[in-house]
Amino acid sequence: MAQLAFYYFRWHYTQGTIDLVNNVINFLWFILNFFSIPLLLRTFFVPFHRLQETATKGFNIEKWAEAFMVTLLMRLVGALLRTFLILIGVLLLTVVFVGGSILLFTWLLLPVFLFFLVGLGLTLIAM
């Protein structure tokens, strides 16, 4: 029985902890790539759906201003939507990171909690 406890504690504080950390890292990687945060940051001011207006040949101030305003508006819409997606992604990254840290802390304290509960149970039986 003592050998089983030794093997459990060795697994718990080595391979079990490594697996838990790797799982949290995999969740963080998934969220980062699912929301494409690096790509959204690189293409932050690209027009929405690449919609933009081009001016016609020759110099017509009205057509040029129209093309400029449409392109500017599409860039602002694209930046607004990308900002929204980036904020959601960063919020989820933060939630998973904090949750993973709490889970890791709890994982490391579980054997101590187990000993506490066994001691409490033996104390209650002895009363």
Q: What are phi and psi of 14, to 5 degrees?
A: -120, -85
Two tokens at 79?
């930046």
- The C-alpha atoms of residue 86 and residue 44 are separated, in whole angstroms, by 10
pTM above 0.85, yes or no: no
Say what the pLDDT of residue 55 is: 59
Say what the pLDDT of residue 53 is: 63
- The C-alpha atoms of residue 109 and residue 106 are separated, in whole angstroms, by 5
Tally the domains of the chain.
1
Q: Give the residue ranges of the chain where pLDDT is below 70.
A: 49-58
Q: For the chain, how are helix, strand and coil distributed in percent, rounded to 5?
A: 85, 0, 15
Say what the pLDDT of residue 32 is: 95
Q: Which domain holds residue 16?
A: 2-126
